[in-house]
């Protein structure tokens, strides 16, 4: 029986649905390790989280607890950080018109998404990376991250503001298992506006990422 109440926290619901290792759990706090993403996910009491993890050799941490973020940021334990807004969407259904990329296109997708080839290859091998094309050339792509969130999502600059990102995302929603959620960098105003227009609901959480190596 679950002790921790995930409330409206899609990333925790996705974490608990997957076969991840629970490091610690009580009524107020949950700490989980996602081996595939080499990521610790920690929610709840800052005192408990810090007591359980601050001495561990963590390379990547995800939390909505600003006190935890501020602590690690102050001691410079991690090289990089990102702050995201989280949004979610109702389930859809239907037959998705999606196409997988070619193996030779993986390096370009990694470069344009800011991810490593290793990480994009992992998504590709999970059959969770899709593209749309014009005259045989990729104009946009979308995937499902290892943590269950939607992304990466990208459209070539010359094709932007023509609906490609919306269309490929709508196709993915037809087959994405719940919870359906994504996390957007808080300064990405274009993406935030697009998702609000397309019916995504933003919750009250900011998601703080701390990491030493990019995905």
* Residue 199 falls inside a structural domain: no
CA-based R_g, the chain, Å: 18
40-54: average pLDDT = 96
User: CB burial class (10 A; 0-12, 13-18, 19+) of residue 165?
Assistant: buried
13-20: average pLDDT = 89
Region of residue 30 (left: phi > 0; alpha: psi -120 to 50; beta: else) = beta
Query: How much is the pLDDT for 1?
Result: 54
* Residue 23 falls inside a structural domain: yes
Q: Do 83 and 17 reside in the same domain of the chain?
A: yes
Q: Identify the CA nearest to 153 among candidates 187, 197, 122, 185.
A: 185
Q: Identify the CA nearest to 141 among candidates 115, 172, 185.
A: 172
Measure the CA angle with vertex 104, ends 103 and 109; round to 5°: 90
Tell me the per-residue pLDDT of 185-205, one tens digit each, with 9 for 90 and over: 999 999 999 999 999 999 988
Q: What share of the chain is helix, strand, coil (3-state, %, to 5)?
A: 30, 30, 35
Sign (positive or negative) of CA dihedral 53, 59, 63, 68:
positive
Q: Identify the CA nearest to 7 among candidates 90, 64, 92.
A: 64
Query: How much is the pLDDT for 194?
Result: 93
Task: Report the alpha-carbon distance of residue 62 to residue 183 in Å, rounded.
Answer: 11
Mean pLDDT (the chain) is 93
Of residues 97 and 186, which shows the higher confidence score?
Answer: 186
- Give the range among 35-39, 111-115, 125-129, 209-213 with minimum mean pLDDT: 35-39
Task: Report the alpha-carbon distance of residue 139 to residue 162 in Å, rounded.
Answer: 11
Query: How much is the pLDDT for 18?
Result: 87
38: domain range?
10-87
Q: Do 25 and 64 reside in the same domain of the chain?
A: yes
DSSP string, 163-178: SHHHHHHHHHHTTPPS
Q: Based on the structure, what is the number of domains in the chain?
A: 2
Split at pLDDT 50, 70, 90, the class of 8 is confident
Query: How much is the pLDDT for 124?
Result: 97
17-22: average pLDDT = 89
Q: Do 68 and 109 reside in the same domain of the chain?
A: no
Q: Do 164 and 118 reside in the same domain of the chain?
A: yes
Tell me the per-residue pLDDT of 133-148, one tens digit each, with 9 for 90 and over: 999 999 999 999 999 9
Is residue 84 scored above 90 in pLDDT?
yes
* Residue 113 falls inside a structural domain: yes
User: Of 87, 112, 146, which marks where a domain is finished?
Assistant: 87
pTM, to two decimals: 0.90
Split at pLDDT 50, 70, 90, the class of 6 is confident
Query: How much is the pLDDT for 91?
Result: 81
Query: How much is the pLDDT for 2?
Result: 63
CB 133 within 8 A of CB 110: no
Measure the CA angle with vertex 38, ends 34 and 39; round to 5°: 65
Q: Do 125 and 81 reside in the same domain of the chain?
A: no
Tell me the per-residue pLDDT of 163-185, one tens digit each, with 9 for 90 and over: 999 999 999 999 998 999 999 99
Query: How much is the pLDDT for 80?
Result: 96
Q: Do 107 and 167 reside in the same domain of the chain?
A: yes
């Amino acid at each position: 029986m679950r002790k921790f109440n995930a409330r409206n926290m899609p990333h925790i619901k996705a974490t608990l649905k997957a076969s991840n290792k629970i490091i610690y759990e009580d009524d107020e706090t949950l700490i989980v390790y996602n081996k595939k993403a080499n990521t610790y996910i920690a929610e709840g009491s800052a005192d408990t989280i810090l007591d359980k993890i601050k001495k561990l050799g963590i390379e990547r941490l995800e939390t909505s607890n600003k006190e935890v973020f501020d602590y690690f940021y102050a001691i410079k334990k991690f090289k990089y950080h990102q702050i995201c807004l989280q949004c979610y969407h109702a389930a859809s259904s239907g037959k998705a018109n999606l196409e997988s990329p070619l193996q030779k296109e993986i390096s370009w997708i990694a470069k344009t998404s800011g991810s490593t080839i290793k990480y994009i290859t992992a998504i590709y091998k999970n059959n969770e990376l899709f593209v749309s094309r014009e005259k045989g050339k990729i104009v946009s792509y979308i995937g499902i991250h290892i943590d269950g969130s939607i992304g990466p999502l990208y459209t070539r600059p010359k094709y932007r503001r023509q609906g490609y990102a919306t269309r490929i995302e709508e196709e993915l929603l037809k087959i994405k298992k719940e919870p359906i959620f994504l996390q957007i960098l808080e300064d990405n105003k274009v993406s935030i506006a697009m998702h609000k227009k397309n019916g995504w609901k933003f919750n009250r959480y900011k998601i703080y990422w701390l990491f030493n190596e990019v995905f």
